[in-house]
Amino acid sequence: MLKKVMVSCFAMVLGTSLHAKDFSVSEKIIGIEIGAASIQADTNGYLFGEPEHDGSDVEYGLRIGAQMNEWRTLLVLDYFDSKDDDQNYEKFMITVDNMFNNTEKDVKGLQPYIGLNIGYMNYESTNINESGFLYGGQAGLFYRVTDNVGVDVSYRYSLTDADRTDHIASFVMGINYIY
């Protein structure tokens, strides 16, 4: 457990230090996201060593962060509640993305990106309430609509170390206010 806490702290320091030196000149971001999420978990006990249940529903989230040149760091809080599958989760994570085709901060056009995420989640289902470490990656496309508004579409895949939760996969659309 101590090792996981140390890795999480290291990721937070790394993610926030990417913008710390020039934070006053970086672009700040605040936004929302919505996506189609799928979680693979065990609600009754593992069957042949694999989680036996896939739940799918809508995931909602808030994001705040900064972007400087080709690097973007976001703090993301997501919520998923599938009443049909009796599953829900909350996850808090830090994402660090490398934006391609971005040599200036006022670049317009489609910008692909790839990144990593690390964080913590809480999973609940019938008679289950567990928390665990979360880590994974994402890839997507970012488009700056105006000087202050950007839209991105991404695929995010995260693994967990929780006992009954295996992974979370999401197709996410985010709308960012950039100031």
**CATH value at residue 138:** 2.40.160.20
Number of domains observed in the structure of the chain: 1
pLDDT of residue 103: 53
Q: What is the DSSP letter of 70?
A: T
Which residues neighbour 68 within 8 Å (Cβ) at sequence distance 6 or greater?
Answer: 18, 19, 22, 25, 26, 27, 105
Q: Determine the distance from the C-alpha atom of residue 160 to the mean position of all C-alpha atoms in its chain, rounded to a whole number.
A: 13
DSSP output for 21-35: TTTTTSEEEEEEEEE
Domain membership of residue 61 as a residue range:
2-178
pTM: 0.80
Give 5 or 163, the one with higher predicted confidence: 163
User: Is the per-residue pLDDT at 151 higher than 70?
Assistant: yes
Dihedrals φ, ψ of 78, to 5°?
Answer: -120, 150
- The per-residue pLDDT for range 117-147, each reduced to its tens digit, is 999 999 998 888 999 999 999 999 999 999 8
pLDDT tens-digit map of 53-101: 778 999 999 999 999 888 999 999 999 998 888 889 999 999 999 998 7
